[in-house]
Amino acid sequence: MFCEKAMEMIRELHRMSDGQLPAFNEDGLRQVLQEMEALYEQNQADVNEAKSFGRSDLIPSIKLRHCCLLRNQRCITAYLYDRLLRIRALRWEYGSVLPANVRFHMSAEEVQWFGQYKKSLASFMRSLGEGEGLDITQDIKPPKSLYIQVRCLKDHGEFEIEDGTVILLKKNSQHFLPRWKCEQLIRQGVLEHVVS
Amino acid sequence: MFVTDIRKDFYEVVANQRVALLVAADIDALCACKILQALFHCDHIQYTLVPVIGWQDLSTAFLEHKEQFRYFVLINCGANVDLLEMLQPDDDSIFFICDTHRPVDVVNVYNDTQIKLLIKQDDDLGVPSYDDIFRDDEEEDDGSGNDSDEGSEPSGKRRRFDEGAIERRIERQRARREWEARRREILFDYEQFEFHGTSAAMMFFELAWVLTKDTKDMLWWAIIGLTDQQIHDKITHMKYVTDVATMQRHVSRHNHRNEDEENSLSIDCMRISFEYDLRLSLYQHWSLYESICNSCYTSSSFKLWTLNGQKKLREFLADMGLPLKQVKQKYTSMDMSIKENLRDVIEESSNKFGMKEIRIQTFGVHFGFQNRFLASDMVHATAALLESTEKEESDIAHNFIKALDSLSRGNLDRLHVGIDHAKRKLLAIQQTVASCICTNLILSQGPFLYCYLMEGTPDVKLFSKPLALTLLCKYLLKAFVHSTRNKRCKLLPLIMAAPKDVEKGTVIVAGIPPESETSDKKNFFGRAFEKAAESTSSRTLHDHFDTSIIELKTEDRSKFLDALITLLS
């Protein structure tokens, strides 16, 4: 059947519905393009024959092949576009450096597109706040509180914040700090968020 | 200097700054810390909390943090010693001290720039006036006091004037010597006795009230802080009753919304109530029988370490009509008919058996269907957690954090663990008291009673911690007073020594004032220990914030004691 391969590619994407990016299906794409080429050539031949010999019984098969071509085109563009949307979401989730296994699944052109998207997002963020810049990828949901209470789990030594103040992180000391300063350390396991 | 307007001079000063909180390790300090943390969370004041257990800890913490912080808040530490001399801070560091230890060191009182005392200027502070202690130095440069100077002054022409000058100088020196003698006397009287003032938790609750940011949680913590002072015998009964009245006003202010029948609060909301409840520790979380056996008041009144005492206890229970089976069950499973009038029934019977003060004014909290706690339960539980000697939890800062957490309503499992520890601690105290009295371990040394816990005593590790040791001292003294026939011994104070660190070979020594109805809880052992240690050059460590608790090398024990005996007789 025509367009089977294209459907398969769509189904593959549909299976991984929670935003994961499967490997770029180069093979499938090539097969679909080959199928489209074959269909196009057959159509060309038939159209020439129909025009020159006036054979109107070829017209339905020409129409069928044309529909298949359009369908293949639609499936492939949908496949490519959906992948781009997923890659865009990755920027918001992971930040500007993607983990290696995700990058492995992207084609060279997708990597290039990602680079350009990063650049345009960065220049947009820089232009916010009257030239000061605002990182809108943080705090996508409004946080419950600006400051959180954290407890230090291990001796980390001195920790410097943007405005120059230094905090000594000693084991079992508790601190009350702005949320964004602590997030990285919480992820590293040095601090523990205390909810009481 | 004393802070008069706590909102303006303390809270608004630190409002946009980062603050370091140095908190001592006792329950009152923990409660005060919780209240202050809640206030800081409200107003987004960044802080760093560091637990400190002694003077060395305090100095280390200060050294580590002095570069980063300008404002330090010290809770239950720092008032009774010359802080500036001990810490040597830079000129722009400011210390806010909220401490119950009295007497407040005179340098701290009269320093205007760096030390701010968050203490009420009660009548009983008795700080000597400025002129009695400090004196301008002009006279001192003048007569540097050496007779040799006068001798080396030149020639004959000036001699007549010299005589007048010499006389005046001698007169000045004599006046100064008199003034210095008087000063020493005044300072000695002032610093001789150590006692405690208003709870730090109550001070911070008042701050919250002035800012109208007080909540029921903060009120409950303030009540726990006050109860801690009463349980560990830090304040007199009169003061306790006065402070309870103050707290009761706050409680009724917070409760007035409940009285309306139509708008009653959900069962999960926190309700604090004033209770005139029994002086039985943890009785609602234990069985009544166990609680009676292990509470200081009842066990010493009945003398439960004797057979006679056990008999009397059974008579007491029979008198009240409580079957043994019921009384030995967990309190929550006791018959409802018994629980209903329990307090009144017990009060009536205890009057017959000579216990006139079985009931005491206190507060209880109630949230949810199952959670009902008295303030004294919380104090025992948190103290047990703070000084827990379990293997995994031997780190002091770790215990501090655990105890601090147990005070929050959301950490009930921790509180229940604390209650279990507290039960074991009370049992251990009771058994130790019984064995000490039965084996006559308490010796009268003349001016005081002395008891030494040997290394092999069961649960002796529990008593290497200051709070547990003071509780043991108090119970032991009470039991001793009830059991001895010697009238003179009943009026003596008690010194207790227990092994602290077997590897280093040290013991912890604590002294408490004599037991009496009208005791003013003033403890002179702080100074006495210092003097005795100096005179015998014993190796002591006066590290604890309460000067009446010290650490001593085991070998120096006997000469230290002898020095004390000579000092105090």
State the total domains in chain A.
2
The last residue of a domain, from among A26, A58, A93: A93
- Contacts with B68 from chain A: Cβ below 8 Å: 165-168
**Which of A146, A168, A175 is nearest residue B64 as measured by Cβ atoms?**
A168
User: Cβ(B133)–Cβ(B186) under 8 Å?
Assistant: yes
DSSP conformation class of B158? G
User: Cβ(B41)–Cβ(A149) under 8 Å?
Assistant: yes
The last residue of a domain, from among A50, A74, A93: A93
Average pLDDT over residues B79-99: 90
B225, B287, B302 from B425: Cα distances, Å: 20, 16, 20
Average pLDDT over residues B250-255: 90
For residue A120, being part of any structural domain is answered with no
Amino acid letter, residue A57: D
- Contacts with A146 from chain B: Cβ below 8 Å: 44
Phi and psi at B95, nearest 5°, equal -110, 130
User: Cβ(A194)–Cβ(A151) under 8 Å?
Assistant: yes
> pLDDT 10s digit of each residue in chain A, 196 long?
888 999 999 998 899 877 788 888 899 999 999 999 999 999 999 999 888 988 888 889 999 999 999 999 999 999 999 999 999 988 887 777 888 888 888 999 999 999 999 999 988 988 887 777 777 777 777 878 888 888 888 887 777 776 667 788 888 888 888 887 777 777 777 888 887 6
B17 in reach of chain A (CB within 8 A): no
- Contacts with B408 from chain A: Cβ below 8 Å: 196
Q: Between residues A180 and B460, which one has the greater pLDDT?
A: B460
For residue A100, being part of any structural domain is answered with no
CA distance A177 to chain B (A): 6
May I ask the CATH class of domain B441-568? alpha beta
For residue A135, being part of any structural domain is answered with no
For residue A164, being part of any structural domain is answered with yes
B413 in reach of chain A (CB within 8 A): no
E-strand ranges in B99-197 read 101-102, 115-117, 195-196
Count CB atoms within 10 A of the CB of residue B305.
20
Q: How many helices (H) and strands (E) are present in chain B, helices listed first?
A: 25, 16
Count CB atoms within 10 A of the CB of residue B319.
14
pLDDT exceeds 80 at position B31 = yes
DSSP conformation class of B523? B
Q: Specify whether A88 is located in the same domain as A164.
A: no
Of B428, B406, B430, B409, nearest to B419 by C-alpha is B406
Give the structural domain span for A182.
147-194
Q: How far apart are CA B470 and CA B474, in angstroms?
A: 6
pLDDT exceeds 90 at position B203 = yes
Q: How far apart are CA B34 and CA B52, in angstroms?
A: 15
pLDDT exceeds 90 at position B523 = no
User: Cβ(B449)–Cβ(B494) under 8 Å?
Assistant: yes
Mean pLDDT of chain B: 87
Task: Give the residues across from B196 on adjacent strands.
Answer: B101
For residue A47, being part of any structural domain is answered with yes
State residue B260's pLDDT score: 63
For residue A139, being part of any structural domain is answered with no
**Which of A146, A147, A167 is nearest residue B48 as measured by Cβ atoms?**
A167
B44 in reach of chain A (CB within 8 A): yes
Q: Specify whether A85 is located in the same domain as A160.
A: no
**Contacts with A, B 48-77, CB within 8 Å:** 48-51, 64-65, 67-68
State residue B258's pLDDT score: 58
Of B482, B427, B448, nearest to B568 by C-alpha is B448
B281-339 per-position pLDDT tens digit? 999 999 999 999 999 999 999 999 999 999 999 999 999 888 888 889 899 888 888 88
Q: Specify whether A8 is located in the same domain as A70.
A: yes
A136, A149, A167, B68, B293 from A164: Cα distances, Å: 23, 20, 10, 10, 59
Of B281, B212, B277, nearest to B244 by C-alpha is B277
Sorted by sequence, the CB contacts under 8 Å of residue A150 that are 6+ apart come out as A174, A175, A176, A177, A182, A185, A186, A191, A192, A193, A194
B37 in reach of chain A (CB within 8 A): yes
User: Cβ(B49)–Cβ(B102) under 8 Å?
Assistant: no
Angular region, A194: left φ>0, alpha ψ -120 to 50, beta rest: beta
Instruction: Note whether B68 contacts A146, CB cutoff 8 Å.
Output: no
B103 in reach of chain A (CB within 8 A): no
Any idea what the CATH number is for the domain that residue A27 is in?
Answer: 1.20.58.1030
The last residue of a domain, from among A93, A112, A135: A93
B473-510 per-position pLDDT tens digit? 999 999 999 888 888 888 889 999 999 888 888 899 99
Given CA atoms B437, B443, B449, B453 in this order, what sign does their dihedral have?
A: negative
Q: What's chain B's length in residues?
A: 569
CA distance A152 to chain B (A): 10
Of B427, B432, B434, nearest to B300 by C-alpha is B434
Given CA atoms A123, A128, A130, A132 in this order, what sign does their dihedral have?
A: negative
For residue A161, being part of any structural domain is answered with yes
Phi and psi at A110, nearest 5°, equal -65, -40
Domain ranges of chain B: 11-129, 213-259+266-427, 441-568
pLDDT exceeds 60 at position B569 = yes
Cis peptide before B103 (omega within 30 of 0): yes
Average pLDDT over residues B13-26: 90
State residue B375's pLDDT score: 94
**Which of A147, A168, A172 is nearest residue B65 as measured by Cβ atoms?**
A168
Domain at B11-129, CATH homologous superfamily: Response regulator (3.40.50.2300)
pLDDT exceeds 60 at position B215 = yes
Any idea what the CATH number is for the domain that residue A176 is in?
Answer: 3.40.5
**Which of A146, A173, A178 is nearest residue B48 as measured by Cβ atoms?**
A173
For residue A128, being part of any structural domain is answered with no
- Residue found under tokens 């001070």: B203
Q: Specify whether A87 is located in the same domain as A18.
A: yes
